[in-house]
């Protein structure tokens, strides 16, 4: 401690030296000291350092002053509060001094101090006290209005403080407001501007009363309209407030908008510009409140986007001539002497109108059709705008329109093309000729900026409507060539042109380009040789696409590619050979050359082999190996049968070594490449080469990476078919791994199918050391071995299915062996000694075989199956029921009548028999079921009122799947049943409809769309259970086929929201001994309703009134545990999808979150209660974390207060940190792009 104060006092001494260099170095050393975390100052040193630094602020030397100011920052955190107050006082006094230099340096000092103050949330009182001191001084300085520069500095510092620490100055807000409002009429525009900025920061944290006072003041001033100049300022102020705190101004818009609309018609260009800026900000920040005004705002925008009083666009020919003379300046001068172009600011009005239109388009996707009717033609007609900045914004507005038209690419719409997307696209298609007409001349214009604008618009157009430019290629090519070859073009211009050309080539048929290849090619080839790597790499992408165009291999063509091969090849080769170029260019040169050899390899003659040798070199290089593997895969797959023999000998061992590398993408690409090489070049590969590859494979088969295992096994299957002798050598080690995989609980889908194919190929090789019997034995061994060990199932349930599928596949590959295996399994089931595990396997196997082959020859099978229904083991029962269904599907006429009879006659086994019937209906093709439909239908309706819910669900599933057999006839019958029957029958019918909805297109969809509304009427059913299943139907439709319900939402939503309410009449008290326990019968229905609400966010967000929706989310946040868990997830999703709406409601949403996070569990509660509460808090905290990601959320006072509460409570802080860690390690939610 002593040494520090000694060192510092020696520095202070040097600071008083007369030599400025001494002072400078001493201050610099002090700065270094202060920046060390470890430094502690005693009271005396603190005083001296503060005093000295403040003195140095008035030093004669500027550099010393600057350093002294920099020292203030680190000093703030190191000294006691009263010292900081001293610093601030002195700085504030200096700000009012007459010396300009001192004023400037003091204001920098104050800004430094403010930025270093600890945020209020840390709970230190220092910040609050210091800020109050500064504020009092500043408001005084601003109010005095003596020297403008003092005012400007003071306003600047005040803005800084309000933006960082607005909440701390709560008590000063009204005095700040009183001080700022008069500044809006200051004679100096700069003062007004800074006052507006300060007000913008104030409205973020001020209370509702102060906000109302401010808006009342602005409204009154706008109504008065004393002078145009002040009106301009007030409108700018309204726009500024809306940009900063748009959600608060919403309720005042009703009064504000008419005034601004009225000012749009005043003949003052600047005023109009500010009006449109205000509109733009309202549209972006208060979409709901703007809804009634959108049409009038759009009308104004469309009127003023053409507002150019001093220029005559009418005569196109004249315009052309004017362009030819130097920018037409001369004629302009003659005709309009009294008016100079520099005074014309009408372009600002046009630009503001264009920006406002862009805001309207991007915030209202629901009005697309209107936009295409009115807005699109208006914008197209303005592409001729003469002012570049305005033109850029008009292009941007049109690009926004195109982006809105792009059908949302998500998993939903791929299978469920809802009809709404087609109309705007057709309207756009009809306007394409006008767009091209307006743009194609500009593509050869002088202005680079407008050419770039044209290309970005055309790129977007080609992506939204692939193929729409096919008829206009001749008009576009000259412009493309011009921009690529033009010497004055900037490199960005070329890159934009090339990327447009790439999109164009990808989205159109090859034939359209054939007439133009000759014109295009030379300029593209020149770009490949360009010294700037970004141009080269874009040009290589274009070349790759061009190669596919000039010689498409997938269809007949008449175009002769020969004359162009040499140019393309030599330009690409030059880039492929170069070692000292950018990584991206290297990779693209490899891919491009791969494409050239794939499409044009037969034209390359002697050049081919040397090029392949280069590929071999690139394989050996770690940086380029992955790209080269992909290129070789492409070449090996070429229909031109390129001769790869010279490089296979050296190449194959290299590829084999890649399978050892710890790079997943490389392994997968290499396996793919090897598979294709083995298929297409089997005659050139020697067994020794293959064996080198084979030794690498067993390690790759593991349950840790199913996809790599699947690709490896697919490759093994290829090998088994082509090189059976090689496989037999390593079959032992490979099979051991594969059996391990078959018995794994994780195996399913693609990997399982790959294993099945491999076993079938292996059995058919005949040379393998392992034959049919051995494979079956190995597959079933673990199950038979465990039989002696105990009664329960030893392996995971999934493993039994996998083994059964594999054995069944082996049977179908070796039909001679099959009957014996079937008999063996039937005997296993009959034998009383068999363990449940063996029986389960046997039944699953019989199910797999029975589905495809007719097992009616097995006479005793029926009795065996039915006897198993009485087994004590649940697993055996359900396996037998599954087997009966599948065996029946394989021989319908033998089994189905028998099955139906049993269902009628065996009430005890009904549930299992119905499950069998469900399997029959699911597995059988529609036409084979048709003769039995009536009988099944009648039988099912007998059971649809069963009291057991499990049975009713199976009946419903059978009904639903049966309806798919003949929807036209059966759907109306289900509909009739709605009005009849008991609540049980209705709930069964509604659930049946749920099973007719799948995520794939079906013939029933069109019929369903017509009548699903009737089924959803049951949302208003008096019976609670019916309403619950109706919500499940709605949820399933919203998730799998949103198009079914999109148009019904207006009528369905009120019923849905109605179900989210807590019903007092459904809550009852149950006495359990001495305790009373409340039971809420409505809970399940509410849960189902909130689940539907979550699903709607994903599929129908554009049809929801989000504010209405939020009201119900708000109620859910205060509901039962399960409901709160759901609404927290909904809230987190909403903060991503519609942040601005959530911001507007933040105050009301935070309260329940805070309540949840700060509840304490009663001390004597059970462990489950603690766990439940903990999970609830975690979920709430996740919602808080999601809210904190909303831009500008930190400006909300409620949120700031809550986050400071979280930080100050150790329990909440640690919970919050752990949530943040979890979310950092997880990949972010694919937030669906709903914009």
- Using one digit for the tens of pLDDT, what is the confidence trace for 253-292? 888 888 888 888 888 888 899 999 999 999 888 877 888 8
pLDDT of 326 > 60? The answer is no
Pairwise pLDDT comparison (776 vs 350), residue with the higher score: 350
C-alpha angle with apex 256: 175 to 213, nearest 5 degrees? 20
Per cent of the chain over pLDDT 90 is 10
Euclidean distance between CA atoms 404 and 938, whole angstroms: 50
pLDDT at 325: 38
Is-contact 780 805, C-beta < 8 A?
no
Give me the mean pLDDT over the 462-471 stretch: 87
3-state SS, residue 1031? helix
Q: What is the pLDDT of residues 618-636, one digit of tens each?
A: 988 888 899 999 999 999 9
Q: Please give the full DSSP string across 821-866, using - where no structure is assigned.
A: HHHHHHHHHH-TT--HHHHHHHHHHHHHHHHHS--TT-TTHHHHHH
Euclidean distance between CA atoms 906 and 909, whole angstroms: 6
Is-contact 1088 1032, C-beta < 8 A?
yes
Strand pairing class (1067-1072; 1075-1080): antiparallel
Kindly indicate the confidence band of residue 407, based on its pLDDT and cuts at 50, 70 and 90: low
Is-contact 1187 1146, C-beta < 8 A?
yes
Euclidean distance between CA atoms 664 and 707, whole angstroms: 10
Instruction: Mean pLDDT check: name the lowest of 274-283, 298-307, 718-727.
Output: 718-727
Helix (H) or strand (E) holding 1072, with range, is strand 1067-1072
Euclidean distance between CA atoms 793 and 795, whole angstroms: 6
Q: What is the pLDDT of residues 942-951, one digit of tens each?
A: 777 777 778 8
Pairwise pLDDT comparison (333 vs 1126), residue with the higher score: 1126
Q: What is the pLDDT of residues 555-571, one digit of tens each?
A: 777 778 788 888 888 99
Pairwise pLDDT comparison (137 vs 1110), residue with the higher score: 1110
Cα separations in angstroms, 698 against 373, 663, 704, 726, 731: 63, 17, 13, 14, 9
Residue reference for tokens 């890159």: 495
pLDDT at 122: 55
Euclidean distance between CA atoms 302 and 835, whole angstroms: 81
Pairwise pLDDT comparison (872 vs 501), residue with the higher score: 501
pLDDT at 319: 44
Euclidean distance between CA atoms 54 and 69, whole angstroms: 9
Euclidean distance between CA atoms 945 and 942, whole angstroms: 7
pLDDT at 1106: 82
3-state SS, residue 1071? strand
Helix (H) or strand (E) holding 1075, with range, is strand 1075-1080
pLDDT at 627: 93
pTM: 0.77
Kindly indicate the confidence band of residue 1234, based on its pLDDT and cuts at 50, 70 and 90: very low
Kindly indicate the confidence band of residue 6, based on its pLDDT and cuts at 50, 70 and 90: confident
Q: What is the pLDDT of residues 366-383, one digit of tens each?
A: 788 888 989 899 999 988
Closest CA to 593 of 622, 624, 555, 621: 624
Q: What is the CB neighbour count within 10 angstroms for residue 220?
A: 10
Per cent of the chain over pLDDT 70 is 92
At 1140, list the tokens.
Answer: 């601005």
Helix (H) or strand (E) holding 1070, with range, is strand 1067-1072
Instruction: Mean pLDDT check: name the lowest of 976-980, 1128-1132, 1176-1180.
Output: 976-980
Choose from 458-462, 509-513, 601-605, 722-726 the range with maximum mean pLDDT. 458-462
pLDDT at 15: 80
Helices marked H in 325-472 = 329-335, 346-363, 368-370, 376-381, 388-405, 411-415, 422-439, 448-464
Kindly indicate the confidence band of residue 313, based on its pLDDT and cuts at 50, 70 and 90: low
Q: Is 203 left (phi over 0), alpha (psi -120 to 50) or beta?
A: alpha
Residue count of the chain: 1235
Kindly indicate the confidence band of residue 666, based on its pLDDT and cuts at 50, 70 and 90: very high
Euclidean distance between CA atoms 517 and 546, whole angstroms: 8
Give me the mean pLDDT over the 444-459 stretch: 88
pLDDT of 64 > 90? The answer is no
Give the largest CA-CA distance in the chain. Answer: 117
Close Cβ partners of 408 (under 8 Å, ≥ 6 residues apart): 1232, 1233, 1234
Is-contact 778 739, C-beta < 8 A?
yes
Helix (H) or strand (E) holding 1069, with range, is strand 1067-1072
pLDDT of 453 > 50? The answer is yes
Close Cβ partners of 1110 (under 8 Å, ≥ 6 residues apart): 1134, 1141, 1142, 1145, 1149
Pairwise pLDDT comparison (782 vs 392), residue with the higher score: 392
Give me the mean pLDDT over the 930-936 stretch: 79
Choose from 225-229, 510-514, 827-831 the range with maximum mean pLDDT. 510-514
pLDDT of 317 > 70? The answer is no
Choose from 316-325, 471-480, 844-853, 917-926 the range with maximum mean pLDDT. 471-480
pLDDT of 338 > 60? The answer is no
Is-contact 846 826, C-beta < 8 A?
yes
pLDDT at 1209: 79
Residue reference for tokens 């038979």: 784
Close Cβ partners of 987 (under 8 Å, ≥ 6 residues apart): 952, 1023, 1025, 1026, 1028, 1029
Euclidean distance between CA atoms 1085 and 1087, whole angstroms: 5
pLDDT of 422 > 80? The answer is no
pLDDT at 445: 83
Mean pLDDT of the chain: 81
pLDDT at 408: 54
Is-contact 1218 132, C-beta < 8 A?
no
pLDDT of 21 > 50? The answer is yes
Give me the mean pLDDT over the 955-983 stretch: 80
Sign (positive or negative) of CA dihedral 378, 384, 390, 391: positive
Is-contact 627 667, C-beta < 8 A?
no
DSSP state of 1079: E
Residue reference for tokens 């295409």: 372
pLDDT at 768: 56
Q: What is the pLDDT of residues 522-578, one digit of tens each?
A: 999 899 888 888 999 999 999 999 998 888 877 777 778 788 888 888 999 898 888
Euclidean distance between CA atoms 1018 and 1000, whole angstroms: 25
Is-contact 807 764, C-beta < 8 A?
no
pLDDT of 1227 > 50? The answer is no
pLDDT of 28 > 60? The answer is yes
Cα separations in angstroms, 461 against 66, 338, 468, 997: 54, 43, 8, 35
pLDDT of 398 > 70? The answer is yes
pLDDT of 685 > 90? The answer is no
pLDDT at 314: 60
């Amino acid at each position: 401690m002593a040494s520090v104060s000694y060192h510092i006092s020696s520095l202070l001494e040097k600071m008083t030296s007369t030599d400025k260099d001494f002072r400078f170095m001493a201050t610099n050393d002090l700065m270094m000291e202060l920046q060390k975390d470890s430094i502690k100052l005693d009271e005396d040193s603190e005083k001296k350092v503060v005093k000295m630094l403040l003195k140095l602020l008035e030093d004669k030397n500027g550099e010393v002053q600057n350093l002294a100011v920099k020292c203030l920052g680190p000093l703030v955190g190191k000294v006691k509060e009263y010292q900081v107050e001293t610093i601030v006082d002195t700085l504030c006094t200096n700000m009012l001094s007459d010396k300009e230099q001192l004023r400037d340096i003091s204001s920098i000092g104050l800004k430094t101090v403010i930025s270093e103050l600890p945020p209020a949330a840390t709970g230190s009182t220092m910040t609050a006290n210091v800020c109050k001191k500064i504020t009092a001084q500043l408001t005084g300085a601003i109010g005095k209005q003596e020297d403008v520069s003092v005012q400007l500095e003071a306003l600047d510092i005040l803005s800084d403080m309000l933006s960082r620490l607005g909440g701390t100055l709560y008590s000063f807000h009204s005095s700040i407001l009183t001080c700022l409002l008069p500044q809006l009429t200051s004679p100096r525009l700069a003062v007004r501007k800074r006052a507006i900025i300060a007000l913008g920061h104030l409205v973020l944290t001020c209370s509702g009363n102060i906000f109302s006072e401010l808006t009342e003041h602005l409204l009154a001033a706008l109504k008065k309209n004393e002078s145009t100049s002040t009106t301009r300022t007030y409108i700018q102020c309204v726009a500024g407030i809306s940009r900063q705190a748009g959600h608060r101004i919403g309720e005042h818009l009703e009064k504000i908008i008419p005034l601004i609309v009225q000012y749009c018609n005043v003949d003052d260009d600047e005023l109009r510009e500010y009006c449109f800026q205000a509109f733009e900000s309202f549209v972006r920040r208060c979409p709901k409140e703007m809804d009634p005004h959108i049409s009038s705002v759009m009308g104004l925008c469309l009127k003023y986007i053409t507002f150019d009083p001093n220029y005559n666009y009418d005569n196109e020919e004249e315009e052309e001539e004017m362009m030819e003379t130097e920018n037409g300046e001369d004629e302009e001068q003659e005709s309009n002497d009294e008016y100079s172009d520099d005074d014309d600011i009408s372009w600002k009005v046009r630009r503001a109108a264009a920006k406002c239109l862009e805001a309207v388009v991007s915030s209202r996707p629901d009005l697309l059709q209107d936009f295409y009717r009115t807005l699109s033609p208006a914008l197209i007609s303005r592409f001729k705008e003469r002012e570049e900045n305005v033109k850029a914004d008009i292009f941007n507005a049109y690009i926004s329109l195109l982006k809105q038209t792009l059908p949302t690419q998500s998993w939903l719409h791929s299978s469920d093309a809802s009809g709404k997307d087609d109309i705007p696209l057709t309207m756009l298609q009809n306007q394409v000729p006008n767009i091209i007409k307006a743009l194609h001349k500009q593509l050869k214009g002088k202005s680079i900026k407008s050419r770039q604008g044209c290309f970005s618009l055309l790129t977007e157009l080609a992506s939204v409507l692939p193929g729409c430019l096919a008829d206009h290629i001749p008009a576009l090519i000259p412009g493309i060539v011009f921009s690529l070859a033009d010497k004055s073009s900037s490199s960005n211009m070329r890159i934009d042109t090339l990327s447009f050309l790439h999109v164009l080539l990808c989205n159109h048929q090859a034939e359209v380009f054939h007439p133009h290849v000759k014109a295009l090619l030379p300029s593209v080839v020149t770009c490949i040789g360009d010294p700037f790597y970004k141009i080269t790499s874009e040009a290589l992408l274009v070349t790759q696409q061009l190669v596919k165009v000039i010689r498409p291999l997938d269809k007949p063509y008449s175009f002769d590619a020969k004359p162009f091969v040499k140019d393309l090849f030599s330009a690409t080769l030059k880039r492929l050979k170069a070692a000292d170029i950018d990584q991206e260019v290297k990779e693209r040169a490899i891919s491009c050359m791969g494409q050239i050899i794939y499409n044009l390899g037969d034209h390359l003659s002697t050049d081919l082999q040397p090029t392949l040798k280069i590929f071999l070199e690139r394989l050996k290089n770690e940086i380029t190996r992955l790209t080269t593997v992909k290129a070789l895969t492409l070449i090996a797959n070429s229909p031109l049968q390129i001769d790869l023999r010279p490089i296979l000998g050296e190449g194959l061992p290299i590829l084999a070594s890649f399978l050892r590398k710890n790079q997943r993408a490389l392994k997968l690409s290499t396996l793919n490449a090897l598979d294709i090489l083995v298929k297409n070049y089997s005659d050139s590969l020697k067994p020794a080469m293959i064996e080198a590859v084979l030794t690498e494979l067993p390690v790759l088969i593991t349950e840790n990476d199913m996809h790599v295992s699947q690709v490896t096994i697919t490759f093994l299957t290829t090998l088994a078919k082509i090189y059976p002798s090689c496989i037999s050598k390593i079959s032992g080690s490979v099979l051991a791994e594969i059996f391990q995989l078959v018995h794994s609980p994780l195996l399913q889908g693609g990997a399982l199918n790959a294993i099945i194919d491999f076993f079938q190929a292996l059995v058919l090789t005949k040379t393998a050391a392992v034959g049919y019997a051995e494979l079956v034995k190995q597959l079933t061994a673990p199950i038979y071995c465990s039989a002696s060990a105990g009664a329960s199932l030893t392996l995971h349930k999934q493993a039994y299915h996998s083994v059964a599928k594999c054995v069944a596949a082996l049977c179908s590959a070796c039909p001679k062996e099959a009957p014996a295996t079937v008999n063996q399994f039937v005997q296993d089931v009959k034998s009383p000694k068999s363990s449940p595990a063996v029986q389960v396997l046997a039944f699953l196997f019989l199910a797999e075989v029975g589905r495809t082959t007719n097992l009616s020859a097995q006479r005793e099978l029926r009795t065996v199956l039915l006897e198993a229904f009485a087994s004590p083991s649940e697993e055996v029962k359900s396996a037998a029921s599954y087997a009966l269904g599948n065996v029946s599907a394989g021989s319908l006429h033998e089994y189905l009548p028998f099955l139906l009879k049993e269902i009628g006659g065996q009430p005890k086994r009904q549930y299992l028999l119905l499950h069998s019937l469900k399997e029959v209906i699911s597995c059988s093709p529609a036409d084979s079921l048709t003769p039995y439909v009536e009988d099944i239908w009648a039988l099912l309706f007998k059971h649809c009122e069963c009291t057991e819910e499990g049975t009713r669900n199976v009946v419903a599933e059978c009904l639903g799947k049966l309806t798919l057999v003949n929807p036209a006839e059966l759907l109306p019958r289900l509909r009739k049943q709605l009005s009849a029957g008991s609540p049980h029958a209705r709930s069964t019918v509604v659930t049946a409809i749920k099973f007719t909805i799948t995520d794939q297109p079906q013939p029933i969809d069109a019929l369903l769309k017509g009548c699903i509304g009737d089924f959803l009427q049951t949302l208003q059913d008096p019976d609670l259970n019916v309403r619950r299943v109706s919500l499940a139907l709605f949820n399933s439709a919203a998730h799998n086929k949103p198009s079914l319900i999109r148009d019904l939402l207006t009528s369905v939503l009120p019923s849905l929201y109605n179900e989210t309410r807590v019903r007092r009449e459904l809550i009852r008290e149950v006495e359990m001994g001495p305790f009373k326990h409340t039971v809420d019968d409505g809970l399940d229905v509410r849960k189902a309703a909130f689940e539907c609400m979550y699903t709607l966010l994903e599929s129908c967000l554009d049809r929801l009134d989000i504010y209405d929706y939020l009201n119900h989310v708000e109620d859910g946040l205060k509901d039962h545990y399960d409901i709160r868990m759901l609404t927290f997830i909904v809230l987190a999703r909403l903060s991503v999808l519609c942040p601005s709406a959530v911001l507007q409601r933040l105050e009301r949403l935070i309260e329940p979150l805070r309540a949840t996070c700060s509840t304490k569990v009663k001390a004597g509660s059970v462990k489950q209660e603690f766990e439940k509460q903990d999970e609830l808090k975690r979920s709430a905290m996740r919602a808080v974390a999601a809210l904190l990601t909303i831009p500008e959320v930190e400006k909300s006072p409620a949120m700031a207060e809550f986050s400071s509460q979280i930080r100050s409570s150790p329990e909440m802080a640690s919970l919050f940190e752990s949530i943040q860690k979890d979310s950092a390690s997880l990949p972010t939610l694919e937030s669906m792009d709903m914009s």
